[in-house]
Amino acid sequence: MKVLRTPEKYFKDLKNYPYKPHYTTIKTKEGDDLRIHHIDEGPKEGPIILCFHGQPAWSYLYTKMIPFFLKEKVRVICPDLPGYGKSDKPDKRNDYSYQKQVDWMVQWLKENKLEDLTFFGQDWGGLIGLRVVSQEPDRFSRVAVGNTGLPYNPRVPRGVLKQREAFIKSKKTLTFSDIYKNLRGMRGEPATHQVLKFMYWQKYCWDTEDVPVGLIMSMIGGGRKKINNVAYYCFVQMGIEKIYPLKPEIAKAFDAPFPGREYKMGVRSMPMQVPIIPDRSLAAQKKARNFFRSWNKPFMSVFAGNDPITNTMEKDVLKMCPKVLKAPYIGGGHFYQWTKPKELSNILISFIKSEY
């Protein structure tokens, strides 16, 4: 397996990311070395929260939340999933199967000998993390997830599958503007099957060799109405973003791991791995969901409440465990770690301290 490693110089001038890097080299099942990065902040004797990010973010997504945890003497550990952040980036599409991502993070967890953990995951961080918890349950004391889930769709109408397949294979070129309109539209049209809504993001990411990660994060996580974000969006749409003199800080931070398009295979590949259609992950998903039916430790659903991407998943999450706690909605959209850091941190801190 060939991997790429982002040179440290690309992370040098990031604001609000002073954290010492920690690296763990694991062996893949194929015998290759894979280096995974994480940050580890706070008192060693404090309660630990393990935070998994999603696509296309990295551990930088939690920088606004970390100070709130540290103030309450909570130890924070945030890894970068392989393909993201300071972690190694395999360069082939097949390297990013759902199962491989789970296997790698289970091995990372074991190598670091982490125990008595509170897990929090969002987006792909939840999809991967919940499977990790199900395989290493003794290492976790409680689980919280939001804007994510454990999708399991063994029966999707054949017509929907054919429509999706034709769309994915079509020569239609999607722009970021198309995706943004689609995401906003996901709030409505309840009769439209989720597969047909999500296929736009899947096709866009795979067909776009140089996915504009910084732009995506600046628009979704940084405010689409801010003048600087709008101006940057226009420059990116015209293909002249490199000459834009006022690139938003959030765009700089989330572009940092990807100095070239060849580093973005994880960003491009992983949406296709979301098990919203019957695929090879069905058996593993079913096993994990069956595991959580008998989970007797604290489990909390903490959704934003206004995320068009994952709102429909909350009802399913609330059915996953016998005693699921439901946190109040805090808003903030998909990347609410960035937009509502205080509110989300306070909920998780209360959960850790058993106030929920």
**Is 123 among the residues known to form the active site?**
yes
The number of angstroms, rounded, from the C-alpha of 72 to the middle of its chain's C-alpha atoms is: 25
**Is 193 among the residues known to form the active site?**
no
Q: Which two tokens stand for residue 36?
A: 């995974």
Whole-angstrom CA distances from 94 to 63, 85, 98, 172, 265 are 31, 20, 10, 24, 10
Q: Which residues contact 56 (CB under 8 A, 6 or more apart)?
A: 84, 211, 213, 216, 217, 254, 267
- Taking the CB of residue 71, how many other CB atoms lie within 10 A of it? 11
Pick the catalytic residue from 37, 38, 193, 334: 334
- On whether the CB atoms of residues 14 and 60 are closer than 8 A, the answer is yes
- On whether the CB atoms of residues 308 and 190 are closer than 8 A, the answer is no
Burial class (CB in 10 A: 0-12, 13-18, 19+), 22: middle
Residue with structure tokens 């074991």?
Answer: 110
Pick the catalytic residue from 80, 88, 255, 307: 307
Pick the catalytic residue from 88, 95, 123, 255: 123
Whole-angstrom CA distances from 4 to 1, 86, 87, 119, 253 are 10, 10, 9, 28, 19
CA 319 to CA 299: how far, in whole Å?
11
Q: How far apart are the first and last CA of the chain?
A: 45
- On whether the CB atoms of residues 248 and 222 are closer than 8 A, the answer is yes
CA 90 to CA 160: how far, in whole Å?
32
- Taking the CB of residue 2, how many other CB atoms lie within 10 A of it? 9
* Type of residue at 52: F
- On whether the CB atoms of residues 191 and 202 are closer than 8 A, the answer is no
**Is 37 among the residues known to form the active site?**
no
Q: Which two tokens stand for residue 265?
A: 């295979």
DSSP β-bridge partners for residue 108: none
Q: Give catalytic residue positions.
A: 123, 307, 334
